[in-house]
C-alpha cells in the first residue's frame, strides 16, 4: 500500500470529468471550476460520468502525482454538492470509504468485482 502524508484538504469535483484529461487538463479544471491553485498541496478527486473511474491529482512539493483507478464492476459513490458548487470537501475517512467501496451513509459494502479463486 502506498502511504503519503495526509493532505491539508481533499476536494471531490462534483461534476463528471472526462478521464482523458491528464495533469494539465485536470489542473485547468482546478483553476477554472474550483478557482484554486492545483499546486497548493491539496488532493483533488475526479470521477467520470459512469462513476467507474476515479483520478486523484496532488502536488507533492516538486511535481504532480496522478492516481487512476478503474473499477471492473460497480461504481464509486460520490458526495452531493450544494447547488452551484463545483467541489465538495471530504475527509480522509470518506476517501477511504469511497475507494474501498463502502456506502457512506450505511457503512455497507457496495457491489464490486472479485476475482474467482481457482
pTM of this prediction? 0.83
**What pLDDT, on a 0 to 100 scale, did the predictor assign at position 12?**
94
**What pLDDT, on a 0 to 100 scale, did the predictor assign at position 59?**
92
**What pLDDT, on a 0 to 100 scale, did the predictor assign at position 63?**
94
Local mean pLDDT, 10-residue blocks, the chain (118 residues): 68 93 96 91 95 94 94 88 86 89 74 71
**What pLDDT, on a 0 to 100 scale, did the predictor assign at position 89?**
93
* Long-range own/partner contacts, residues 26-30 (CB < 8 A, 24 or more apart): 26/55, 26/57, 26/66, 27/57, 27/64, 30/57
What is the CA 103 to chain-centroid distance, rounded? Answer: 15
Q: Which helix (H) or strand (E) element contains residue 15?
A: strand 10-16
Number of CB atoms found within 10 A of residue 117's CB: 4
Amino acid at each position: 500500500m502506498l502511504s503519503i502524508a495526509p493532505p491539508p484538504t481533499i476536494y471531490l469535483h462534483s461534476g463528471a470529468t472526462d478521464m482523458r484529461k491528464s495533469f494539465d487538463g485536470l489542473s485547468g479544471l482546478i483553476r477554472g471550476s474550483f478557482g484554486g491553485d492545483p499546486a497548493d498541496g491539496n488532493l483533488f478527486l475526479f470521477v467520470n460520468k459512469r462513476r467507474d473511474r476515479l483520478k486523484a491529482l496532488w502536488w507533492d512539493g516538486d511535481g504532480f502525482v496522478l492516481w487512476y483507478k478503474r473499477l471492473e464492476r460497480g461504481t464509486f459513490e460520490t458526495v452531493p454538492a450544494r447547488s452551484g458548487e463545483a467541489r465538495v470537501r471530504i475527509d480522509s475517512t470518506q476517501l477511504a470509504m469511497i475507494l474501498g467501496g463502502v456506502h457512506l451513509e450505511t457503512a455497507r459494502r457496495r457491489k464490486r468485482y472479485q476475482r474467482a479463486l481457482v
